[in-house]
Chains A and B, each alone.
Chain A
C-alpha cells in the first residue's frame, strides 16, 4: 500500500517536474533570443535590455514567430535577412566572418606555443 502511494507520488512529481521544465524551455528560448538580438537604435543594448520602440517591435515579431512554430535559427535567419548580420550578437559562421571565429583559437594556440618556447629557452639557459 505504502509502495503504491510512493509510486503515485513519484509519478505526480515526475509529471509536475516535466511541465515545469517545458514551461522553462519556452521562457528560456524567448529570452535567449532577445538577448542575442541587438537593439539597432540603442547604445550597446540587446532587445532584452531595451524598451525602445524598435526593441518592442522586434520582441512582438519574435513572439509571433515562436507562436508560428519557427525555430531559433529560422528567426535569426529572418532578422539577418532584413537587417543584416549586425542584428545578432552571435552571427552564424560564414566566409566573411570565419576569421572572427577561428582567431581566438589561433591566438590561444600561438600563445601556448610562445609560452612553451620561452619556458624551454629559460630551462636551457
Chain B
C-alpha cells in the first residue's frame, strides 16, 4: 500500500513538472503591453511642445480616434514609421498626437523639418515620466484610442505597412 502511495506521489510530481515545462515553454516569453488594450487612459496632462498649454482628456475626445505616437529625433526606428504617419495624417476621423520623448527641442524641430510633420498636435515629455502613464517602455510606440479614451490597439515598435492598414480598417 505504502509503496503504491510513494510511486503515485513520485509519478504525479513528474507529470506535474513535465506539464509545467510544456505549458511554460509553449508560452511566448516576449514581453509587451498589448494586454492593456481595452483599458481606459486617465489622468492625461501633457505639456504642449511650443505653446504654454496642457493637453488633457478633452483633446482626445475631439475626434473619433486618436493615434498617440511616442517618438524622438534620436530614435532611428522612428524614421522608418514616419512615412506611414504622414499617410495617416490625411485621415479625417483620426487625430495624430505626437509625444516627443526625452528629446532636445531643436533636434525635434529639425527632424520634423526634414521628414515632415504628421502630427495634429505635438506635446513634450522631457523626462519620460508622462509616458509611464501610457505604459510606454521604449520608443517608437503608438496607441490608438477612441473617443471614450479606451485603448483600441497598441503598436510596439515602428509602424509597418500592415499596421497602417490595420489602423485604416479600424477607423473606417
A19 within 8 A of B: no
Whether A40 pairs with B137 at a CB distance below 8 angstroms is yes
- Which residue of A53, A86, A118 contacts B102 across the interface (Cβ within 8 Å)? A53
A95 within 8 A of B: no
Size of the chain B interface, CB-CB below 8 angstroms: 23
B90 within 8 A of A: no
A-B contact count (CB 8 A): 50
In the assembled complex, the Cα of A81 lies from the Cα of B6 at a distance in Å of 44
Given A110-B9, A117-B6, A118-B6: A83 and B129 interface contact (C-beta under 8 Å): no
Segment with Cβ contacts to B, from A6-14, A28-36, A55-63: A55-63
The residues in A between 6 and 53 inclusive whose CB is less than 8 angstroms from any CB of B are 40-41, 53
Taking CB atoms, residues of chain A closer than 8 Å to B3 are 121
Question: From B139, which residue of chain A is reached at the shortest CB distance?
Answer: A53
Taking CB atoms, residues of chain A closer than 8 Å to B36 are 82, 84
Question: From A114, which residue of chain B is reached at the shortest CB distance?
Answer: B9
Over the window 31-63 of chain B, the binary record of Cβ atoms lying under 8 Å from chain A Cβ atoms (1 yes, 0 no) is 101011001000000000000000000000000
B2 within 8 A of A: yes
B132 within 8 A of A: yes
B77 within 8 A of A: no
Over the window 116-133 of chain B, the binary record of Cβ atoms lying under 8 Å from chain A Cβ atoms (1 yes, 0 no) is 000000000001110111
In the assembled complex, the Cα of A64 lies from the Cα of B129 at a distance in Å of 10
Taking CB atoms, residues of chain B closer than 8 Å to A57 are 127-129, 131-132
Which A positions have Cβ atoms within 8 angstroms of B?
40-41, 53-54, 56-58, 60-61, 64, 81-84, 86, 110, 113-114, 117-118, 120-121
> Which 3 A-B pairs give the minimum distances between C-beta atoms?
A57-B128, A82-B135, A40-B137
A-B contact pairs, 28 of them (CB 8 A): A41-B137, A41-B138, A53-B102, A53-B128, A53-B138, A54-B137, A54-B138, A57-B129, A57-B131, A57-B132, A60-B128, A60-B129, A61-B129, A61-B132, A64-B129, A81-B39, A82-B36, A82-B134, A82-B135, A83-B33, A83-B135, A84-B36, A86-B31, A113-B9, A114-B9, A114-B10, A117-B5, A121-B6
